Amino acid sequence: MTDPFFPLDTRLPAMLKSGKRLRGIFNGIASPAIVEMCAYAGFDFMVIDNEHGSASIETTENMLRAARASNLPTLVRCLEHDIARTLDIGAGGLQIPMVSTAAHAAALVQRVKYPLATGAKGLSGQRGSAFSSRAAGYGAFGGPAHSQRSNDGIALVVMIETPEGVANAESIAAVEGVDGVFIGPNDLAHSMGCENRWNEPAVQAAIERTLKAVAAAGKCPGILALSPEDEDKYAAWGARYFASVSTGIITRALKEAAQGSRDKIAY
């Protein structure tokens, strides 16, 4: 069987290494239909947001099925207690919040990678093996080939959201097995005492420092970019992974539609 038939989509590590601008979307709405809509809209990838979203593990699995069927590479942002199950349902990548040290990033790599046989190529980790999962085709694609495919093809993106993470950005990015580093500007601003004002000069300086450090380490730097102007500014600092948020886009479109209707009503 060829790659398109595997439940596991293994394109994300190569995408993150490509050097190209990638435009994705965070989605916390628990709906496979939204996944398909984002795919058909032309996004390069999606992040299913299970840190702040409402999807159960079953719904997340169905969203990953929708992503695979509509050819949309998809990460899942999850909390650490959900790493094992999120990988087993077939996530092509994980995005883990609140990583502030290289030691934490290295521990996450161990949880994402399977143990490999002595002498096998690549990183070996401590992920528990269960080939009955969706990721392994319920056993159809299990065994050493699945372990190697997973270790090579599942992306790990860690999130820097604190001043400590900013200070350690280069060493975090240098950890083998980390494919990208994404700055959470809202949490970073809060942790710097600026509430949600991430355009404050001090927060922007921290973002610039982090993006440049990650790029210098040879990994993919990511950031929220809610306008073309933001994307261009952050790209000049090294960012290549840009994300918007589905709820913001939908709410804005709904407001525009509602206001447009009111404009046509004669009172």
Q: What is the pLDDT of residues 128-147, one digit of tens each?
A: 999 999 999 999 999 999 99
| pLDDT of 41 higher than 60 | yes
- Give 105-117 pLDDT, tens digit per residue: 999 999 999 999 8
Residue 98 belongs to a domain: yes
- Give 203-240 pLDDT, tens digit per residue: 999 999 999 999 999 999 999 999 999 999 999 999 99
pLDDT band at 43 (very low <50, low <70, confident <90, very high): very high
Task: Provide, rounded to the nearest whole percent, the portion of the chain with pLDDT above 90.
Answer: 92
Please state, rounded to an integer, the average pLDDT across all residues of the chain.
95
Residue 152 belongs to a domain: yes
pLDDT band at 267 (very low <50, low <70, confident <90, very high): very low
Please give the pLDDT value at position 120. 84
SS (H, E, C) the chain: CCHHHCCCCCCHHHHHHCCCCEEEEEECCCCHHHHHHHHHHCCCEEEEECCCCCCCHHHHHHHHHHHHHCCCCEEEECCHHHHHHHHHCCCCEEEECCCCCHHHHHHHHHHHCCCCCCCCCCCCCCCCCCCCCHHHHHHCCCCHHHHHHHHHHCEEEEEECCHHHHHCHHHHHCCCCCCEEEECHHHHHHHCCCCCCCCCHHHHHHHHHHHHHHHHCCCEEEEECCCHHHHHHHHHCCCCEEEEEHHHHHHHHHHHHHHHHHHCCCC
> Could you give the number of structural domains in the chain?
1
Mean pLDDT of 91-108: 98
Residue 267 belongs to a domain: no
| pLDDT of 1 higher than 70 | no
Residue 264 belongs to a domain: no
What range does the domain containing 34 cover? 3-117+125-259
Check which CATH number belongs to the domain holding 219 and give it.
3.20.20.60
| pLDDT of 5 higher than 80 | no
Strands 241-245, 180-183: pairing is unpaired
Residue 203 belongs to a domain: yes
- Give 244-266 pLDDT, tens digit per residue: 999 999 999 999 999 986 655 44
What residues act catalytically?
52
- Give 53-91 pLDDT, tens digit per residue: 999 999 999 999 999 999 999 999 999 999 999 999 999
